[in-house]
Structure 1
Amino acid sequence: MIRPIMKNEFFLQQQSEDATPLDAPIARDLLDTLALHAHECVGMAANMIGQRKRIIVFMDGETPRAMMNPEIIAAKGPYETEEGCLSLDGRRPAKRFRTIRVRYRDLAFEEHTETFEEFSAQIIQHEIDHCNGVVI
């Protein structure tokens, strides 16, 4: 189901709670909402649709992916950049890492650890920031 985009910065600054297997429908709603906004957005976190759960979705190249309870466990290659956000106006500075290692659960709640680089890594970092209540 497509959900409206949350614009309330106070809400976006709240830390998200861990997701459970029962939260898989939120991830599906996020994927549907991301698909609608594909022309202007490459990633979303659950708080962007009003759900304070540690769930993110992102475009990994041409493939939409979902992560539940993502956690960056290693990062290297820091750099400065500017990012936009569907929930916020304008572009803002951000510090990111070129390579990250992420532990997460998939929609079946199976645990994975995976390495991401460059743009995919940047998107994931932005969305995990959302889960942590960090607004760029």
Structure 2
Amino acid sequence: MIYHGIRMKLREGITSQQIDEALDCLKDQGRTIPAVKSFIFGREYHSDFDWSAVFALEDLDAYWEYLIHPVHLTSERVAFPLIERFESFDISDTPHPELGAKIAELQKRHYEADPGLAELLSGLDSHTGSSALGHRG
């Protein structure tokens, strides 16, 4: 199992309506993407991030299905313009020496297939972790 996590710090000055739309999109990822086995989404406390989510994905095929699912793509397009800082990470209970590199390659393919999405990401003040542009594992 791969647990894909994201952490977000929202920009100042966005409206509550924009926030609600972005959060609804993120929740929809867990509710509607078949590859997601379970998820948790909510506010972060006692940190510099505002919201976080973790999605449980069975394997690399499920990870790819999650990345390219239309609900995930919509979520990225809605949320990225509202985010100041974005961090992603992956945890797995299955030891595999090349898993990190394989995840990074999936993320790279995802952004190469959609230059507009990569452009949105490049507009973030900070983007770190497994989904960071230029990350090669």
Instruction: Provide TM-score, normalisation by structure 2.
Output: 0.26
More strand by share: 1
Ranked by relative contact order (alpha carbons within 8 Å, sequence separation 6 or more), the top structure is: 2
More helix by share: 2
